[in-house]
């Protein structure tokens, strides 16, 4: 009996060690798949990544670092009608990975993009108000092309859009309960110049432990620049296309971003 007990104990221990090894291997695999993590831990606008593009808007507060819990986040601010909050002739303040090799995508890549976003003191939509949308995250084709996709705060929802493909879907039907809190989004993309690509968009709202898949588009051409280009990249911040004080749009918007990550989904 004692020998049986010892053998059972050994088997149990072996099982625990095997499970620990698998968990460790999975953790290493996940870590190895991380191409880029931007967490603003050092309190700098480029998060310690020299090649990271920060805002081209010239206003001193168009982009800044703010406290976020025990760490930091990046703030982008745009005030309509003030040229200090314009970039390339449009009201926007954004960061970008266009010069970061790990932040660039090409045809054939499969990527997972995640980010946290907080709509700071966000004036919500009321019936009769402007219905313009504020873009908060983009997968952008280089060379002045339209984005492949973006997420935007439009009315009181957060929606996903691929403008060239004419795709649009609400990812968060009503963000008002989450305004001023951190929301997390995930976009999985297979970058394809034929109809073998996909977009898979998920969200995790405050208080939720896991992501919920919100929308999928399968068998779509995700790499579709109108002008020739060989690569694309990410942008996050605040872009307010077509908005103006005269149109009745909210004069000033502020958004926070943190924990921007890019992971390789090779083989997915």
pLDDT 10s digits, 24-77: 333 334 444 689 999 999 999 999 999 999 999 999 999 999 999 889 999 999
pTM of structure:
0.87
Confidence (pLDDT) at 267: 63
pLDDT 10s digits, 36-47: 999 999 999 999
SS (H, E, C) 93-124: EEEECCCCHHHEECCCCEEEEEEEEEEECCCC
Highest mean pLDDT among 30-34, 94-98, 262-266: 94-98
In the block, tokens 């939509």 appear at: 125
Whether 107 shows a pLDDT value over 50: the answer reads yes
pLDDT 10s digits, 166-195: 999 999 999 999 999 999 999 999 999 999
Q: Beta strand 252-264 with 71-79: parallel, antiparallel or unpaired?
A: antiparallel
Average pLDDT, integer, range 151-157: 97
- Greatest extent of the chain over all pairs of C-alpha atoms, in Å: 87
Average pLDDT, integer, range 114-131: 96
On whether the CB atoms of residues 123 and 191 are closer than 8 A, the answer is no
Whether 250 shows a pLDDT value over 60: the answer reads yes
Three-state DSSP class for residue 26 = helix
Three-state DSSP class for residue 82 = coil
Whether 239 shows a pLDDT value over 60: the answer reads yes
Nearest to 112 by CA among 189, 191, 38, 16: 189
* % of residues, the chain, pLDDT over 70: 87
List of residues 6+ apart from 223 with CB closer than 8 A:
107, 141, 148, 191, 192, 193, 197, 232
Confidence (pLDDT) at 266: 83
């Amino acid at each position: 009996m004692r020998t049986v007990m010892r053998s059972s104990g050994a088997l149990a221990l072996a099982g625990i060690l095997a499970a620990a090894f698998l968990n460790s291997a999975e953790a290493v695999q996940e870590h190895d798949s991380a191409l880029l993590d931007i967490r603003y831990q050092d309190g700098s606008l480029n998060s310690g990544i020299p090649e990271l593009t920060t805002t081209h808007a010239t206003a001193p507060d168009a982009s800044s670092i703010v406290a976020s819990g025990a760490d930091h986040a990046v703030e982008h601010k745009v005030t309509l009608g003030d040229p200090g909050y314009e970039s390339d002739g449009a009201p926007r303040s954004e960061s970008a990975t266009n010069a970061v090799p790990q932040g660039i995508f090409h045809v054939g890549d499969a990527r997972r993009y995640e980010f946290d976003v907080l709509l700071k003191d966000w004036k919500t939509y009321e019936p009769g108000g402007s219905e313009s949308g504020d873009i908060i995250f983009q997968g952008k084709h280089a060379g002045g092309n339209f984005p492949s996709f973006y997420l935007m705060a439009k009315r009181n929802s957060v929606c996903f859009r691929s403008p060239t493909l004419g795709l649009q879907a609400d990812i968060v039907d009503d963000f008002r309960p989450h305004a001023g809190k951190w929301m997390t989004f995930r976009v999985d993309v297979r970058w394809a110049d034929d109809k073998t690509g996909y977009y898979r968009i998920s969200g995790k709202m405050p208080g939720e432990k896991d992501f919920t898949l919100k929308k999928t588009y399968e068998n779509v051409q995700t790499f579709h620049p109108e002008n020739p280009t060989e690569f694309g990249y990410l942008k996050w911040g605040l872009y307010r296309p077509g908005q103006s004080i005269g149109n009745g749009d909210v004069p000033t918007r502020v958004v926070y971003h943190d924990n921007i990550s890019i992971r390789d989904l090779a083989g997915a």
